[in-house]
Amino acid sequence: MKTYFSDLRLISSVITITVRLLSVFVILGLYELSIYLLPKEIEFVSEISVLTCLVFGVFGLLPIQEKISGFLKSTFVSEYLSDDPGSSRLAHRRFDSEGLIKNVFPELVRLTNSNFGKLAILRNDLVHYELYTYAHKKQRKVNTFEGINPRAALLTYILNKRSGAMIGEPDQNKIINEDFVSLRANFILPFVFREKLFGFLAVSNIPKDNVRHELGFLAGKCALAVHNQILSSQIAENKKYRKELENAGKIRKFLESPEPPMIGDIKIDLLSREPGELLEFFQSPSGDFYFVFLRLSVTNAVSVLALCYILGTLYSSRLNGELKNILQIKSMVEDNLKEISWTEKYDLAVGMVEKETGKISLRFIGKKFKLFDASKPDRNLASIGWENIETPGKDALFLTLNDRNIISFQHLGMQP
């Protein structure tokens, strides 16, 4: 028999019973109204009234009853704590991780009879975790760096502990025990979906065996909720920027060729581009080509406007013949970011490819860039603080950011 472990589970049952009783009264009222309105000269008045009520109840009242029950449960309790199929479907459609944090988290802590618990939720970047605490009926959000390290051995350990991990288990090492202590936890329940960890619950008490099955069932719902939240955010972001990308592509055709230029014997390939990035080539009067790569750490409406402003400034300077060297271009981009009061982090690489010699000059800001030869991928040819000059050989040169290839340079005349 299902254990009613909390007040919210009891409220959910009361809502279900109340809505169904109201539905019965509505049907009885409709039956009496039909008897009253139908002409008395008609035979089988009772049978017609029963048939009318039956049709209305099946095709009208049952869907309305489900919607009312789902609305009340979403208002007073979380859909994820309900066994009602309609409420569960509503939860999955809404992708409501806020309801998970507000309602489900305290219930999970209470289910373990703990007075203190921590909840980790995977962010949209699929790397870091938002951390929440619950103690003495109060919730608060804490900074991630005060909680769990996203590369901690604990995350790999609990990924294989679907039913939960307890402190002091034989396969734990010293580092994992320290993570338990830092979280003030004796029991950690992972939220796993499709072999990926979407979060976890850390509580001060070790739950009883008859409660761990209930916890595992809710943990699966929590993992699915976080997965759906991340997925819906990615879909919304893609839709948001798709139109801007189409418009930018149309404008770009009037300004520059969308394909990277062929500079003498140097072939340039664009390997990847993501939202929040600017990558453009500009030809100088001498035939040399400058390129600018700018990535803003935040991708939103403000960052899109910032990139458009920087792009407009660069094109205006090129038309006026103000692009002289890569140091001047680098300073121009930095000054424009300061002018628009951009306070977030950014990564900037400014370079030039000489038409006659094929030499590549590069300056960059940020520690995430790497320039390497295809034959020696582990050796970084670029350094922060000065102008790096390289000449492509028979093997291509790659410019990367966070180990993601952005541009490749290859001397076609030296291919074997």
Check residue 28 and give its pLDDT: 87
Query: Are 205 and 311 within one domain?
Result: no
Q: In terms of residue numbers, what domain contains 269?
A: 256-414
In a domain, 183, yes or no: yes
pLDDT band at 200 (very low <50, low <70, confident <90, very high): very high
pLDDT band at 78 (very low <50, low <70, confident <90, very high): low
Q: Residue 133 is inside which H or E element, if any?
A: strand 129-135
Of the candidates 76, 154, 82, which has an alpha carbon nearest to the alpha carbon of residue 120? 154
Query: Are 373 and 269 within one domain?
Result: yes
28-42, 70-84, 359-373 — which is least confidently predicted? 70-84
Alpha-carbon span 192 to 135, nearest angstrom: 25
Query: Are 295 and 375 within one domain?
Result: yes
Is the pLDDT at 410 greater than 90? The verdict is: no
Say how many C-beta atoms besides its own lie within 10 A of residue 193's C-beta.
Answer: 18
pLDDT band at 256 (very low <50, low <70, confident <90, very high): very low
Check residue 241 and give its pLDDT: 57
Check residue 145 and give its pLDDT: 42
pLDDT band at 4 (very low <50, low <70, confident <90, very high): very low
Contact 389, 359 (CB under 8 A): yes
Check residue 251 and give its pLDDT: 52
- E strands, 194-302, where? 196-203, 262-263, 266-270, 277-283, 289-296
Query: Are 102 and 227 within one domain?
Result: yes
In a domain, 84, yes or no: no
In a domain, 329, yes or no: yes
- What mean pLDDT is reported for the chain? 77
More confident residue, 77 or 69: 69
Considering its fold, how many domains does the chain have in total?
Answer: 3
pLDDT band at 77 (very low <50, low <70, confident <90, very high): low
Query: Are 212 and 269 within one domain?
Result: no
CA angle (129, 342, 142) in 5-degree steps: 25
Query: Are 272 and 395 within one domain?
Result: yes
Check residue 250 and give its pLDDT: 53
Query: Are 150 and 184 within one domain?
Result: yes
Query: Are 269 and 367 within one domain?
Result: yes
Is the pLDDT at 187 greater than 90? The verdict is: yes
Mean pLDDT within 6-26:
79
In a domain, 250, yes or no: no
Check residue 189 and give its pLDDT: 92
The string of pLDDT tens digits covering residues 272-328 is: 877 778 888 888 777 788 888 888 887 766 677 778 788 888 887 877 777 778 888
User: Quick one: tokens of 246?
Assistant: 């189409």
Query: Are 284 and 407 within one domain?
Result: yes
CATH number where 101 lies: 3.30.450.40
Check residue 188 and give its pLDDT: 92
More confident residue, 405 or 139: 405
pLDDT band at 242 (very low <50, low <70, confident <90, very high): low
**pTM for the model:** 0.44
Query: Are 226 and 165 within one domain?
Result: yes
Most confident region among 27-31, 186-190, 247-251, 390-394 by mean pLDDT: 186-190
In a domain, 246, yes or no: no
Query: Are 196 and 263 within one domain?
Result: no
Q: Could you report how far apart the first and last alpha carbons of the chain are, in Å? A: 75
Check residue 254 and give its pLDDT: 47
In a domain, 60, yes or no: yes
In a domain, 42, yes or no: yes
The string of pLDDT tens digits covering residues 342-372 is: 878 888 989 888 878 878 888 888 788 888 8
The string of pLDDT tens digits covering residues 82-108 is: 555 555 555 555 555 676 777 778 878
Phi then psi for residue 358, to 5 deg, are: 75, 10
In a domain, 147, yes or no: yes
Last residue of a domain, one of 48, 78, 108: 78
Strand order in the sheet with 388-390: 277-283, 289-296, 346-353, 360-365, 388-390
Contact 275, 237 (CB under 8 A): yes
Is the pLDDT at 170 greater than 70? The verdict is: yes
Check residue 58 and give its pLDDT: 80
Check residue 85 and give its pLDDT: 55
Give me the percent of the chain exceeding a pLDDT of 70.
Answer: 80
Check residue 129 and give its pLDDT: 84
Alpha-carbon span 177 to 166, nearest angstrom: 10
Check residue 143 and give its pLDDT: 44
Query: Are 340 and 290 within one domain?
Result: yes
Of the candidates 238, 324, 232, 309, which has an alpha carbon nearest to the alpha carbon of residue 278? 309
Contact 189, 138 (CB under 8 A): no
CATH number where 301 lies: 3.60.40.10
Check residue 247 and give its pLDDT: 56
